[in-house]
Structure 1
Amino acid sequence: MISNHLMIRDYPVDERPRERFKNYGPESLSNQELLALLLRTGTKSQSVLQLAQNLIKEFDGLRMLKDATIEELTKIDGIGQSKAIQILAAVELGRRITNLTFDNRYIIRSPEDAANYMMEEMRFLNQEHFVCLYLNTKNHILYKQTIFIGSLNASIVHPREVFREAVKRSAASFICIHNHPSGDPQPSREDIAVTKRLVECGKLMGVELLDHIIIGEKKYVSLKEKGYL
């Protein structure tokens, strides 16, 4: 761990919290170092790491930080209102993430559910957008990702891009959705080719493609219902 008594700039670049965060992820940093990243700067008399350590001591190793007020934080030398607000904003984001439940997430029970989820967002687009909805084992949407923008082509929509997000999100399955700017959702040969390629890759990866939905003008086509999956 970096010493409290030296300034960040005194350390080799690859040992600084920001660089370690980028190279090894946030889990590689201590609470003190994560707080130092939020605070960004120390004072003339103490480094940002010393300031972070003072915060940790004051709030019982972060235990009481979740209930801190601006007034309590600004009593600490080196913590002004701006830094106090940054800290409390981060605490509140953490609280909201912790309180998220799967009940807050949209559930896909049918092709119509998937189409309705994306219809208003996609039906007026003047270019084709290829989007994947990544689902958990109960078909809650974990994440939505636009994979490609432009004319659909099996050689351009590469499975690598699709399954990278699936693995990253620990998805059990996924649904592909893309729009036809013409308003006609009937599948093209390329649409069918892309679908079949993703089905085969999904079998190898253990992440099932549940459907490929094509969005038109207030109407859609499910390639699963058409028998292509």
Structure 2
Amino acid sequence: MAIMVRDLPPEERPREKLLAYGPSGLSNAELLAILLRSGTRKKSVLRIAEEILARIKEQGLVGMVHISVAELAKIDGVGKVKAATLQAAIELARRLAVQQSAKIQMITGPEDVARYAMPHYRFEQKEHFAVLLLNTKNHVISMPEVSVGSLSASVVHPREVFRAAIDHAAAAMILLHNHPSGDPTPSREDIAVTERLVKAGKIMDIPVLDHVVLGRDRFISLKEKGLLQG
């Protein structure tokens, strides 16, 4: 016979634990259970939450970003309404992270670049190439996206990169892109594209200050690695 949440002592029930100790004291399954709200006659809400986590175990919790409403709804005890609730919670968390990053107004190093851009690209499944455009005091003007797909010289053309800089009257720029694998180690192509754009920046008198590659929770600055040449 399945043990339901109502059969647990009050201090062990997810909602009561959250109210008593705060959300940081709960497991991932318990937090999901609160969002799901209820189980079925044969399955507790905690069991359903555990099944969702088991479905994404290879990716870890980040898998929640990529699992679709349709996939979630197929799990016994979830359905479309609960799946939509989970997706809404994930989107709110993403928007909060993006909003927090927008508070960074001045770039003093690659750490600021990562904090500004990571919420936008951490969970993307394709490579996105963007430019962080700065004014003369290194304040952020804009972060236009130039291309989506594998990074290559044919995809990231200086014409498109510097058109964005000219349109925004940028004094300098920082290149950035994400690695969907989560490993920010720059490839040969990353280095080649950087060299090409650094040279173009010198001609256009819009210097390329750095190229930051974003992983899942890590980043690498080509400038810090001594790879910003041109």
**The TM-score by the shorter chain falls in which range?**
0.5 to 0.7
Long gaps (5+) in structure 2: 1-102
Q: Which runs of 4+ in 1 moved over 3 A?
A: none
Residue 183 (structure 2) aligns with:
184
Cα distance in 2, alignment partners of residues 185 and 149 from structure 1:
17
SS in 2 for 1:131: strand
- In 2: Cα distance, 1:111 partner to 1:183 partner: 17
Residue correspondence of structure 1 range 1-229 to structure 2 within 5 A: 106-229=105-228
What letter is aligned with 2:202?
K
CA distance, structure 1, for counterparts of residue 120 and residue 112 of structure 2 = 14
**Which amino acid in structure 1 is aligned with residue 173 of structure 2?**
F
CA distance in 1, matches of 2:142, 2:119: 18
What is the RMSD of the two structures over their aligned residues, measured on CA atoms? 1.1
CA distance, structure 1, for counterparts of residue 164 and residue 180 of structure 2:
26
How much does 1:178 deviate? 0.4
Aligned-residue identity in percent: 56
For residues 86-134 of structure 1, give each alpha carbon's deviation from its aligned partner in whole angstroms, at most 9, with x where no partner exists: xxxxxxxxxxxxxxxxxx7710000100011011211100000001111
Equivalent position amino acid for 1:193 in 2: A
Q: What is the deviation of 1:154?
A: 1.2
Q: Do 2:130 and 2:177's aligned partners in 1 also have CA atoms closer than 8 Å?
A: yes
**TM-score with structure 2 setting the length:** 0.54
Unaligned runs of 5+ in 1: 1-103
1:228 offset after TM fit, Å?
Answer: 1.4
> Looking at CA atoms only, which structure, 1 or 2, has the larger radius of gyration?
1
Instruction: Say which SS state the counterpart of residue 146 (structure 2) adopts.
Output: strand
Aligned residues: 126
Judge conservation of contact 2:172–2:207 (CA < 8 Å) in 1: yes
Please name the residue that 2:91 is paired with. none
| Residue 44 of structure 2: aligned partner | none
Deviations 1:5-44 (A, max 9, x none): xxxxxxxxxxxxxxxxxxxxxxxxxxxxxxxxxxxxxxxx
Q: Any idea what SS the aligned residue of 1:192 has? A: helix
